[in-house]
Amino acid sequence: VMKPWLLLLILLVSFSSPAPRFSEKDVCILDNNKLRQRLKHLQDLLYLYELQLKDILENTYHRTKSGLFAGNRSMQHEML
């Protein structure tokens, strides 16, 4: 039968050991993965904004309907 103090000592030794550390290569791989995810997110945003800009520039209905691009100052002030 194991003594309670011996069990406690074994538990304390196992919990007090330091956590395993990642190697420099592992840290580099993790950082690269995070950067790839961030780059993909930014590329997706860029593509979305390019589509929105293209839609705004090519959509003459909104431009002529609003009058903001027509150069009519009085109409612009009324809308504002």
pLDDT tens digit sequence for 8-30: 777 777 666 666 788 999 999 99
DSSP letters for 11-51: HHHHHHSPPPPPPHHHHHHHHHHHHHHHHHHHHHHHHHHHH
Pick from 42, 71, 43, 66: which is nearest to 56 by CA? 66
Pick from 69, 49, 47: which is nearest to 60 by CA? 69
pLDDT tens digit sequence for 31-76: 999 999 999 999 999 999 999 999 888 887 655 666 555 555 555 4
Burial 9-24 (b: 16+ CB within 10 A, else e): eeeeeeeeeeeeeeee
Q: What pTM did the predictor assign?
A: 0.49
Tokens describing residue 77: 């002030």
